Structure 1
Amino acid sequence: MQIGLLKERPVFIFGMGRSGTTLLRLMLTAHPQFCVPSECLFFVRLEPKYGHLEDISDRLDSFLADLYKVESFADWKLDPELLRQNLSQFPALNYATAIATVYRTYLEQIGSDARFWGDKNPVHVYYTEQIQKYFPNAKLLLIIRDVRGTYGSLKRTEKSFDNWQGSCQANVLSVTKQWRKVVDLSEKHKNDPSFHTVLYERLIENPEQELRAVCSWLGVDFDESMMRYYEKNAKEKLVPTGENGWNAKTFQPISKGRLNSWQNELSLTELEALESLNQGNLQRLGYQCVTQPFRYRSLLKVLPDYVDHAFWRLAQIAKLRSKRQKLYSASPLS
C-alpha cells in the first residue's frame, strides 16, 4: 500500500454537536467512493507531540502507543500489526503521512474500495487551519442547523446525562457562542472552493438535491445508495454502540417530523433569548424569528447560563490539560 500524500483528498465533516454531522457522515459513507470512520480525535490529540517532526519513523513505537490511548480509537478495532507494517514502509514518515496511513489501513482492514477517506468531528470547527496545513487538498464540509433546533436537541440529549456537564453545555450562551463560531467560519470561507456549507433543514427537506450538490463539489457522481444510508448503518454498525441512544434515527429513513420541534419544546424565554443573541445570523442564513427581538428581560433570565458556561469552559480546559499530561507523560522529543 503506497500513499501519494499530495494526491490525498480527504473530506472533513464538522459542525456543532446535534446539527447533523453524523447523518451527513453516514450519507457520504454510503457512497461507494467514500469511507468516513466513526468519530475519533487522534489527529488533533497527537498533533502537538508529532506534528512538528519531519520524520517520526524512529518514534513509531511511541506514536502507536499514544494512538491506541486516544479515546474512541478502540471502536475502530484496527489491527496494530497491520498498521505498524503499513507505517514502516515509508523511509521518511511525517505526521500527515502517518495520519493518512491510519485511515488507509482502516479502509484496507474493512475491505473498502473507497477512493477517499474522511473524518467527522464537531471539534474540527476549531482546527480548520491545522487540517489545511497537513492536508492542503482536503475538502471541508460544514453543516449548520438552526440555532434553536440545535439548542432544543442539545437540551433533550444532555438532560439524559443528568449531570452538571449537561446543564453547562445545553444553555443559551454556550450554544450561541459555538453557533456564532460555525456561522463565522462559513462566512469566512464562502469563496473558498475547498469549503462547502450544508444547511441541515435543507438536507432534511430535499436530501437528494443537497447530496447531489455535495457530490458535484467533491467531483463525483451522485449515488442512490446515499439516500439509503440507514441500511448500511444497520448492516455494518457504523455508529458505535455507545452513541445509539442519541443517534437512533440514523437507522431510519429521513423524517421531517422533528424538523421544527423546537417551536413547541422551547419556552418563550429561551426563544426570545436565542433570537435576541442570534438575530443577525439567523436572518443571514434565511431563518425567520418568531418572537420580538431584543427582549432584554429574557436575557436577564438566562444570566445563570453565563455562570454555567464559564464553569464548563474552565472544567474543559482542566480536562484537556490532564489528558495531554497523561498522553505526553514521556519527556518531549524534538
Structure 2
Amino acid sequence: MSLKRNLNRALSAATGLEVRRAGSAPRVTPAPVTTPKPVKRPAPEYRCTDDPATDRLLRRPVFIMSPVRSGSTLLRMLLNAHSRLHSPHELHIRRLEVGYGSKLSERAMDALDLSRGDLEHLLWDRVLHRELVLSGKDVVVEKTPSNAFVYRRIRDCWPDARFVFLLRHPVSIARSWHEGDPEKRTYEEACADALRYMTAVDHARKGITGGHTLRYEELTTDPEGRLRALCAFLGVDFEPSMLAYGERDGTQLQKGLGDWRDKIRTGSVQAGRPLPEDDEVPEVLRPISKAWGYLK
C-alpha cells in the first residue's frame, strides 16, 4: 500500500479530508440556474362576515371597477381633490396573501374560526383603513383595475362597499393599451388582453346590484355634471375644487396632467380622439361593444 494511500486513510479517519494531486480532480460543469415559475395558489376559502362591526375597520369603502386604460387615473385624481374622499394610487390588495408559518399557527387560527381567506380579508381591511386614517379623510376610494377579477371577494369582504363602474369604448381602450407599450403587445394582442378586463368588469356589473355606472366619454365632456351625479351616489356634496385637482400637488404625474386640469375647469376637454366608427370595431370586441351600448 502506497504512502499516499496510508496517509489518506489516516487523514480521512481523523479529519474526513484526503490529499489529491493538484489538477487531478475532475472539472464539474455547474448546472444552469433556472428560476422556478411561481406557483399560483388556489383562491382560499373564506366566510362572509356576519359581524362587520367586529371584523372590519372600514365603513362603506368605494371601489372603482374599470378596465385598463379607461380613465381611472383621471377619475381618481378628480375624486381625491374632494375634502372627504381619499383615492390613493393602485394598491393591489388582492395580491396580499397570508401563509401559515407552522401547523401550530394554522390550528390556532382554526380555533378562532379564521381561515386563510378570512385572515387575508383582515389584512386587506387594515391596509385600506390605515391609508384612510393617514389621509385624514372620511371615505376611501380604491381603483386598481384587476379588482374586477375578484369582485365577489371584495363584495363579500365589505358587505357595505359601494361600486362605481367606469366604462370606455372598447376600441379606445385597446388602442391606448397597445400604444402604451407597442413593443410589448401588438394591437391584436392588446385587444385580447384588454378584453379580459372588460369581461371581468361586465361580470361585476351584472353580479353587483346598486352600483353607479360612469362613462369616460361623459366624464371628459361634462365633468361637472358627471361628478355631481357621482357625489350624490357617494353621499357627499359636490365641491368645485374637484375640477381644479392637482393645484397643490407637485408630483410628476400631476405635472403631466396639468393641461387636463385647465380644460376640465373650462369644460373644453374632449375624449382625446373621435369615437371609433362601427366598422373599426374588430370582431373580438364587437360583443362587449354592443353590450356596453357603443355599437349602433
Q: What is the TM-score of this pair, normalised by structure 2?
A: 0.64
| Deviations, residues 263-320 of structure 1 (Å, cap 9, x unaligned) | 5xxxx9xx7573433334324433246xxxxxxxxxxxxxxxxxxxxxxxxxxxxxxx
- Amino acid paired to 1:113: G
| Deviations, residues 238-272 of structure 1 (Å, cap 9, x unaligned) | xxx5xx49x93366323634533565xxxx9xx75
1:282 maps to 289
The correspondence for 2:200, drawn from 181, 194, 211, is 181
The question of 1:222 aligning with 2:238 is answered: yes
1:107–1:17 CA distance, 2 compared to 1 (3 A): same
- Give the Cα separation in 2 of the matches to 1:173 and 1:107: 35
SS at match of 2:281: helix
2:163 maps to 140
Tell me if structure 1 keeps the 8 A contact 2:60–2:139: yes
The correspondence for 2:260, drawn from 240, 245, 252, is 252
Tell me if structure 2 keeps the 8 A contact 1:158–1:170: no
1:284–1:55 CA distance, 2 compared to 1 (3 A): same
2:71 maps to 20
1:37–1:55 CA distance, 2 compared to 1 (3 A): farther
Q: CA deviation at 1:199?
A: 0.8
The question of 1:10 aligning with 2:61 is answered: yes
- Amino acid paired to 1:29: N
The question of 1:205 aligning with 2:221 is answered: yes
- Give the Cα separation in 2 of the matches to 1:274 and 1:181: 20
The correspondence for 2:139, drawn from 102, 105, 116, is 116
1:283–1:252 CA distance, 2 compared to 1 (3 A): same
SS at match of 2:243: helix
Structure having the larger proportion of residues in helix: 1
- Give the Cα separation in 2 of the matches to 1:151 and 1:276: 13
Unaligned stretches of 5+ residues in structure 1: 57-92, 290-334
Q: CA deviation at 1:129?
A: 0.8
SS at match of 1:140: strand
- Amino acid paired to 1:119: E
- Amino acid paired to 2:190: N
1:95–1:141 CA distance, 2 compared to 1 (3 A): same
How many residues are aligned here?
A: 226
The correspondence for 1:166, drawn from 182, 185, 192, is 185
Tell me if structure 2 keeps the 8 A contact 1:55–1:94: no
- Amino acid paired to 2:205: S
Q: CA deviation at 1:40?
A: 2.1
- Give the Cα separation in 2 of the matches to 1:196 and 1:55: 41
Q: CA deviation at 1:177?
A: 3.9
- Give the Cα separation in 1 of the matches to 2:128 and 2:206: 30
Tell me if structure 1 keeps the 8 A contact 2:220–2:270: no
Tell me if structure 2 keeps the 8 A contact 1:176–1:274: no
- Give the Cα separation in 2 of the matches to 1:101 and 1:55: 21
Q: What is the TM-score of this pair, normalised by structure 1?
A: 0.57
- Give the Cα separation in 2 of the matches to 1:116 and 1:214: 14
- Amino acid paired to 1:277: V
